[in-house]
Amino acid sequence: MRKNFILIVVFLLLVPLSINAQSKGDFDYVFTSLSAANENPDMVYHLDLSKGKLTDLPEELNNFSNLITLDLSKNKISLLSPLLGTLTNLEELNLSKNDFSIIPFNINELKKLRKLDLSKNNIREIPEEMAQMKSLRDLNLKQNNLKKIPKEIEALQDLKTLNLQGNPLPTNIEEQLKDWLPTTNILFTSSCRCGF
């Protein structure tokens, strides 16, 4: 009987914690609007601005020095400003399904970035500076307009997954990449932009 009572008390103490786990200021809370995030920018760790019809990176991103994850997917961003390189605490960045063609050279400032999704854009080349992003584990470049990959990418020896599906890459690049990144799972297909 006493055991059951203790279990009930523990359960009742834990329930309020789980109910309040997604309130503003909690580490796991995901902000979905800039205005709400700007109320207390130091408490913003996760920001989801996907499907927001954004055409540029919001200047307000400068305010969020503790930002760890940022989702800007499914917008209409055609140019990535150098502002991107100032988000130095980012670990995950999703810029998929936009319309930009150039990755800013200062993206290498994102030293903690582990996951980068640049799929379904119009990217023509990868800047050599990306080779300095040693924390990168997952790089998604699926369905872009890449025609070459710089040899410098071989510096990313801890990269686990590189998705190059749906790019008009030359046939010999597959063997080169396997030599440059022998432990990376590299995904290739034809240049079909199916479902773009």
pLDDT for 18: 40
Average pLDDT along the chain, 196 residues, taken 10 residues at a time: 53 45 76 95 97 95 96 97 93 97 94 98 95 97 96 96 96 93 90 44
pLDDT for 39: 95
pLDDT for 49: 97
Q: What is the CATH number of domain 22-187?
A: 3.80.10.10
* DSSP state at residue 13: H
pLDDT for 20: 40
pLDDT for 4: 57
pLDDT for 180: 96
* DSSP state at residue 3: H
pLDDT for 189: 80
Q: Which sign does the torsion angle of CA 29, 96, 67, 58 carry?
A: negative
pLDDT for 8: 53
Q: Specify burial of residue 32 (Cβ count, 10 A radius: 0-12, 13-18, 19+).
A: middle
The pTM of the full predicted model, rounded to 2 decimals, is 0.84
Q: Where are the domains of the chain?
A: 22-187
Residue closest to 78 by CA, chosen among 61, 62, 59, 57:
57
